[in-house]
């Protein structure tokens, strides 16, 4: 319910174009992370084989990363600024939470 409340606030007060651009840049960034993860996992020799197969590694993931970045760079500069601010805030909260939890475990 709390999450729904915040989503409703954003949907009510933020223009649809901004919401769509932020959704696009977030999704494209997720594609970049997944494609990079495929390359990383394939380079690890001691890891078990994944449950899925990707053909033509690293060609397909590299092409995917390039295409995603091309689409991301076609978005307005303001979208990039919002994305960087939200990513920074999210990473700060994530690491602060992790630091607090790790501190509690060590005691």
pLDDT digits (tens, 9 = 90+) for 64-82: 999 999 999 999 999 999 9
pLDDT digits (tens, 9 = 90+) for 14-26: 999 999 999 999 9
The Cα 50–Cα 37 span in angstroms is 12
Q: Residue with structure tokens 């319910």?
A: 1
pTM higher than 0.75, yes or no? yes
Q: Which of 43, 37, 29 is nearest to 90 (CA)?
A: 29
């Amino acid at each position: 319910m709390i999450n729904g409340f915040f989503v409703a606030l954003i949907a009510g007060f933020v223009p649809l174009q901004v919401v769509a651009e932020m959704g696009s840049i977030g999704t494209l960034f997720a594609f970049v992370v997944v494609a990079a993860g495929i390359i990383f996992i394939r380079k690890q020799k001691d890891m078990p084989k994944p449950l899925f197969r990707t053909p033509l590694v690293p060609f397909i993931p590299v092409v995917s990363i390039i295409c995603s970045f091309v689409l991301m760079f076609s978005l307005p500069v303001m979208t990039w600024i919002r994305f960087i601010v939200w990513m920074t805030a999210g990473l700060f909260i994530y690491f602060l939470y992790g630091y607090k939890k790790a501190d509690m475990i060590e005691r």
